[in-house]
Amino acid sequence: MAKCIEHLSGPASRTAGHAISFQERKNTQEKPLYCASPTNCDVWNDRVPKDTVAIEYTENKGWGGSVGLTRNGKPWQQLVYIASGYTLLGVMHELDHVLGMAHEHNHSDCDTYIKVTPKALADWDACWQSVHTHEDPLITPENLRCSIRLTIKYGCTCAAFVKNYVEPGWPIKSNAGFDIASIMHYASVSEYSNQRCITKGEYCPVMAYVDPKDHSKGTRLVEQVRRPSEKDLMWVKRNYP
């Protein structure tokens, strides 16, 4: 969180151009409060305001974050999941989800800038087999890639690459141009990639077009960024002035 504030030119102020601040919930002894009840980890701690962002760490599970602030009086609405393999970049990515940022590679104009190959995902074969067994046998790989409902229903990682949707019924409405340097853009080599991609940098799930205006020039790897892009920072400052 301190690194996020550093990238935003310092603490919230007119000079920094944003109103973002983070505050840890503490008890009267200045010790951190846990969002879960001390006696039942599935029950919200009534001493913690329900709009608090709950951060959960687990071993050998996925990362994730709720998108945007929800204030409906219900607990567990603001969530960040952190797993083993902790990285500062990963935490900043998930915190930006909480602020309301969607994945860059889900934008409606993504096909102009990147090439997504769902069959190159590590779990594609298992996902495809499960969907084909339980759903209409006439469903095609392209049908699956475009269905946020089916990809989420069957736990397919290609849900993270469905164009123009965060989740069913929630389309992405971008007010800025595509930004391949965004901290919200997946790299070619990631935990979703197949071994050939991871070891050789070939046949990766997502690749960038060398020239968005001329796809015949081929593709290149999308490198892992190390900090929010200028457009990322502009988005935060525009939405949290």
Please write down the HEC assignment for all residues of 163-197. Answer: CCEEECCEECCCCCCCCCCCCCCCCCCCCCECHHH
**Vertex 196: Cα angle to 190 and 197 (nearest 5):** 35
- Boundary residue ending a domain (66, 81, 100): 100
pTM above 0.85, yes or no: no
Q: How confident is the model at residue 168 (pLDDT cuts 50, 70, 90)?
A: very low
Parallel/antiparallel/unpaired status of strands 206-209 and 219-221:
antiparallel
**Vertex 107: Cα angle to 106 and 109 (nearest 5):** 125
Q: What domain range includes position 84?
A: 1-100
- Boundary residue ending a domain (58, 75, 100): 100
At 186 the pLDDT is 92
Looking at the fold, whether 121 and 177 belong to one and the same domain comes out as: yes
The model's pLDDT over 14-23, given as tens digits with 9 standing for 90+, comes to 999 999 998 8
At 175 the pLDDT is 62
